[in-house]
Structure 1
Amino acid sequence: MKKSKTLNKRYESIGAAAGHSISRRRAMLACVAALTLCSAPAMAAYPDKPIRIIVPFAAGGITDVMGRTVASKLSAELGQTVIVENKPGASGMIGCALVAKAAPDGYTLLMAGIAPLATNSVMFKSMDYDPVKSFEQISMVAKQPLIVAVNNNVPAKNIAELIAYVKTKPPGEIFYGTSGSSYQLITEAFTGSLGVKMTHVPFKGSSPAIEALMGGQINFMIDPFSTLINQVRGGRVRGLAVTSDKKLDIAPEFDTVSDTAIKGFEASSWQGLLAPAGTPPEIVNKLNQAVVKILQTDEIKQNFAKSGVQPSPSTPAEFRKYIQDENARYRKVALEANIQPE
């Protein structure tokens, strides 16, 4: 009898322990469920406060224009204020580093392009961010084709004639100007593909470089369509071709470099929207869908076309791969042209 009572007490003890364990499990499951239910509306509510887009260049440039265009439309699309803050300096690296270190919550974004995201990694020995790994790519926003131009004293009306002319000169006697390191690498890619050599003359911006081209201090330059087209159409410099992958509807007078000289050659100034690495995929996808929708509107297409800008929406994965490819491309160009990082 005593043995039976002892066994019963043991079973009761085990049952009580099992009951407590089950109760704990149920409590834990209830907590998880509650957290899930709470987090779903929170994510769905994004954004619930103003968003800022950092532009790593001064106001008025093409990256700033793209940033403000997207910000105004994104604000309407998301129902939340979107402001632009200019953080210029160090070829865009100051603003990019700021975003790379920001909280990955979707409230600090970056509008940047070819220099800070592709060519700076080639031209500078150290950077405070990785152009690919430090960010979640949201979408490509725009591409601006470039114009290949010469001063009016150069006897060339197309790329073939330019090649022939350069080859009549001693190496290094033809000078090309650039408004930034990106265009230096693009020009080296162009001249390297043609098998000709020119001497680089750097300028602090497009305006002084174009002045030098018009004045005959330099012979040749490649610069964005929007900065050169008025000088070309005004007869002050001569445009030979555009670097887009196809002819431009707003400038059908220009053939492409790919069609006339270097098959498959394409080079652009470009911009895209990014967030700090670690930003939740749900936020990245929501922003991507909004940006893609904005860029597909007739209003944006028409406004961009006036400056020769091509709306270029993409998936986050496509934009990430594009940046990786651009970095690889210009590293190869720098190596072949013996361009050393500063």
Structure 2
Amino acid sequence: MKAVLVLAAAAAGLLVHGDVRAQPYPSRPVMVVVAASAGGPTDTIARIVSERIGASLGTTIVVENVGGASGTIGTGRVARSTPDGYTLGIGGWNHYVVNAGLYPTLGYDLFADFEPVAQLASGPQIILSKKAVPATTLQELISWLKAQPNVTMATGGVGAPGHVSGLTFQERIGVKFQFVPYRGSAPALQDVVAGHLDVIFEQTSAALPQIRSGTVRPYAVTASARLGVLPDVPTVDEAGLPGFHVSVWQGMWAPKGTPKDIVQKLAAAVREALADPKVKARYAEIAQEIPPAAHQTPDGFSAYHKAEMEKWVPIIKAAGITPN
């Protein structure tokens, strides 16, 4: 009789376990790991989109900021997570592309060990300085930079978008910067606002509040057209630095092995979010662009991610940038 009871209990346990696994996805909150500090551009985009995705999926999306080591701590957590759709990663071009050239021994592959869900946004950067800099135009800024003995440039970390742009900028204008990396662009920008550092390349979504409050000096947008939210800030072409166009993008990934139907469901939720007029309005407020329709699908985003890896990883390796 005891053996029969044990077998019956085991069978009941299997039934319960089977019922749990059979529950439609998602049946509990979903964790989104943002590989950047709170308050930065990637975090801002993640929170705008995650709120709408949660509404579409009928669950709570919990956003956790895991910065540090240029975002590799956050991407590593996602790579090592259970591939069940309950841990996702949101990061930028620097986290999921550039770091492949910076960290050859990560212990995971930034392309092969993730399931791409969808691209979320893209947007230009703005060249900014602390208020104490006397220059009011980009050409005046360049002249001022050339006259200074030790120019400091804040970045959100080694290999962050601002760092890569800064390296290109210094080669273009013939100035050597002292790069000061932070654990994310938000604290980097704050030290420029405080006057501790001279200049920074910052994404528009993070720079807008500081520009509007007058705590930094904006010089140019790294795009071919002016931004509707900052109509008085010229483009790099207008400001005398033609062709210096930089667009930074963000995306969503799941751990490798996440079931395809879950990835597709997540991608559909992203498309719903990006089509929402409220999300579009928020994007317009922070000068972010909705990605092309093809990049809002797993296959299309995977192809774009691969192309970006093939383009940028050799450049980063050739530049000889080494993590601190």
Q: TM-score scaled by structure 2?
A: 0.76
Question: What is the alpha-carbon distance in structure 1 between the residues aligned to residue 183 and residue 204 of structure 2?
Answer: 18
Bigger Rg, which one: 1
Q: State the partner residue of 1:267.
A: 247
Q: State the partner residue of 1:178.
A: 155
Deviation of residue 194 (structure 1)?
3.9
Deviation of residue 155 (structure 1)?
4.5
Q: State the partner residue of 1:18.
A: none
Q: State the partner residue of 2:176.
A: 197
Q: 1:196 to 1:91 in 2, by over 3 A?
A: closer
Question: What is the alpha-carbon distance in structure 2 between the residues aligned to residue 197 and residue 100 of structure 1?
Answer: 36
Question: What is the alpha-carbon distance in structure 1 between the residues aligned to residue 79 and residue 115 of structure 2?
Answer: 10
Is 1:83 aligned to residue 83 of structure 2? no
Deviation of residue 144 (structure 1)?
4.1
Deviation of residue 147 (structure 1)?
1.5
Alignment of 1:59-208 (within 5 A): 59-78=38-57, 80-86=58-64, 88=66, 89-167=68-146, 169=147, 173-181=150-158, 182=160, 183-206=162-185
**Aligned amino acid, residue 257 of structure 2:** G
Is 1:256 aligned to residue 238 of structure 2? no
**Aligned amino acid, residue 242 of structure 2:** I
Q: State the partner residue of 1:279.
A: 258
Deviation per CA, 1:201-228: give whole Å up to 9, x if none.
Answer: 2345546544543555433211222333
Instruction: Give the conservation status (yes or no) of the 8 Å contact 1:53–1:67.
Output: no
Deviation of residue 322 (structure 1)?
3.7
| Secondary structure of residue in 2 paired with 1:47 | coil
Match of 1:317 among 294, 299, 306: 299
Instruction: Give the conservation status (yes or no) of the 8 Å contact 1:245–1:256.
Output: yes
Deviation of residue 251 (structure 1)?
1.1
Name stretches of at least 5 consecutive residues in structure 1 with no aligned partner: 1-41
| Secondary structure of residue in 2 paired with 1:77 | helix
Q: 1:149 to 1:65 in 2, by over 3 A?
A: closer
Deviation of residue 301 (structure 1)?
1.0
**Aligned amino acid, residue 262 of structure 1:** P
Deviation per CA, 1:146-185: give whole Å up to 9, x if none.
Answer: 2101234445333333334444x37x63322223220212
Question: What is the alpha-carbon distance in structure 1 between the residues aligned to residue 112 and residue 183 of structure 2?
Answer: 30
Deviation of residue 299 (structure 1)?
0.6
Cα RMSD between the aligned structures? Answer: 3.2
Instruction: Give the conservation status (yes or no) of the 8 Å contact 2:36–2:183.
Output: no
Question: What is the alpha-carbon distance in structure 1 between the residues aligned to residue 310 and residue 302 of structure 2?
Answer: 13
Q: 1:155 to 1:325 in 2, by over 3 A?
A: farther
**Aligned amino acid, residue 207 of structure 2:** L
**Aligned amino acid, residue 104 of structure 1:** P
Deviation of residue 196 (structure 1)?
3.6
Among the aligned pairs, what percent are the same residue?
32
Question: What is the alpha-carbon distance in structure 1 between the residues aligned to residue 60 and residue 191 of structure 2?
Answer: 39
Question: What is the alpha-carbon distance in structure 2 between the residues aligned to residue 58 and residue 155 of structure 1?
Answer: 30
| Secondary structure of residue in 2 paired with 1:175 | strand
Q: Compare 182-191 and 49-58 and name the one that shifted more.
A: 49-58
Question: What is the alpha-carbon distance in structure 2 between the residues aligned to residue 161 and residue 220 of structure 1?
Answer: 13
Name stretches of at least 5 consecutive residues in structure 2 with no aligned partner: 1-20
